Amino acid sequence: MMNRQQTLQQALRAALDPMHLEVLDESHMHNVPEGAQSHFKVTVVSERFAGQPLIARHRQVNAALRDEFEAGLHALAIHAMTPAEWFKRGGKAPASPPCLGGSKAQP
């Protein structure tokens, strides 16, 4: 059985044929039960984003993961880029900010 991270990766690969894909479970940065698998950061680089505004890219990612949202996925940080944008950034996505709602790691 796949965990949620693997399920997200599989769905995004099928929907977007990415050149590069990173799916990071950031649940540990939030005030959620251990093992919640509810908060993820997705960096997806695909030619399918060429000529599309950011909102259209995010909609494609959200549509690909609709079943996971219905199954309890709570939050998704999306970095959706074309290969040219990815290389311009040096092959890196921005770091996620700390959770404003606090986390278990914070006193």
Q: Identify the pLDDT of residue 73.
A: 81
45, two tokens: 């680089």
Residue 36: pLDDT over 60: no
Question: Is there a domain that residue 107 lies in?
Answer: no
Question: Is there a domain that residue 9 lies in?
Answer: yes
Question: Is there a domain that residue 105 lies in?
Answer: no
What is the spatial distance between Cα 69 and Cα 48, in angstroms, rounded to a whole number? 22
Q: pTM of this prediction?
A: 0.80
Number of domains observed in the structure of the chain: 1
Per-residue burial over 11-37, b if 16 or more Cβ lie within 10 Å, else e, is: bbeebbebeebebbbbbebbebeeeeb
Mean pLDDT over residues 51-59, rounded?
Answer: 97
Question: Is there a domain that residue 15 lies in?
Answer: yes
Question: Is there a domain that residue 99 lies in?
Answer: no
Residue 31: pLDDT over 60: no
Range of the domain at 48: 4-88
**DSSP strand E in 1-107: where?**
20-25, 39-45, 75-81
> Looking at residue 47, what DSSP letter applies?
G
